[in-house]
Amino acid sequence: MRKLRIFEHISLDGVIEHDKNYVYGGWTGPYRTPAGMAMLLEAYGTTFDLLVGRRTYDEWLGYWPNAGDFPMANAINAATKYVATHRPDSLKWGPVRDLGGDIIEGVRNLKSTDGPDLVLSGSISLTSVLLDAGLVDEVILIVYPVLLGKGKRLLSESFDARKLEFVSTATTPTGVMLNAYRHLGSMTS
């Protein structure tokens, strides 16, 4: 049985994606270091498959296939990409498969198969849905020492409270923290 792990780059105030016209575009760049990349690669694991929404898939298609020969690009390009999409015929960056019409059932079935862990990165519209459905095993937050004020947040406004258990933390020389949490379930259970 596969585990589903969510990885999100996030500011201290909960912003994970800035508006395309946002003055602080590329806010994670100044904090990137070789040590941080090594830490992130270790957290992803030696092999993994990706679970992404269509928007993230299309954005990554424009970057990762041409990113060059380095460990993160090689791992992402080799991973099977499972995509939540209504347009599966146009998926071209592979290996790739669509999740089918019922995303929850598609992810539930995928988790029950043998294979590497599933990594969800970006794709914030899937994060709340999969947490609410109880399909997430771990949440890994890559926290940057910035306050951005505005932008897309990690969770939707309709998200129901969840319990997490702290697993580990690591810090880069630039102050980026990689915090791992185990998903325990609903706050009401």
Position 123 scores a pLDDT of 79
Check residue 122 and give its pLDDT: 80
Could you tell me which of 35, 37, 124 has the C-alpha nearest to residue 75? 37
The domain segmentation of the chain, as residue ranges, is 4-186
pTM recorded for the entire structure: 0.90
Of the CATH numbers 3.40.640.10, 1.10.287.130, 3.40.430.10, 3.20.190.10, which one belongs to the domain with range 4-186?
3.40.430.10
According to the model, what pLDDT value does residue 151 have?
A: 81
Strand 152-153 with 96-98, pairing: unpaired
Q: What is the Rg, in whole angstroms, of the alpha carbon atoms belonging to the chain?
A: 16
The predicted pLDDT at position 106 comes to 94
Q: What are phi and psi of 29, to 5 degrees?
A: -50, -50
* DSSP string for residues in 74-91: HHHHHSPEEEE-S-GGG-
What own/partner pairs with CB < 8 Å and gap ≥ 24 does 105-112 have? Answer: 106/82, 107/4, 107/51, 107/82, 107/133, 107/135, 108/133, 108/135, 110/2, 110/51, 110/82, 111/1, 111/2, 111/3, 111/4, 111/135, 112/1, 112/2
> What is the four-CA torsion angle of 132, 44, 181, 153, rounded to 10 degrees?
-60
* pLDDT, position 148: 86
pLDDT in 10s for each residue of the chain, 189 residues: 999 999 999 999 988 876 555 555 678 888 999 999 899 999 998 899 999 988 889 988 988 999 999 888 999 999 999 999 888 788 889 899 999 889 999 999 999 999 999 999 887 788 888 998 999 999 999 999 999 888 888 777 777 888 999 999 999 999 999 999 999 988 876
* DSSP code for 136: -
Strand partners, 153: 15
pLDDT of residue 46: 85
Which residue is it, tokens 């020389």?
173
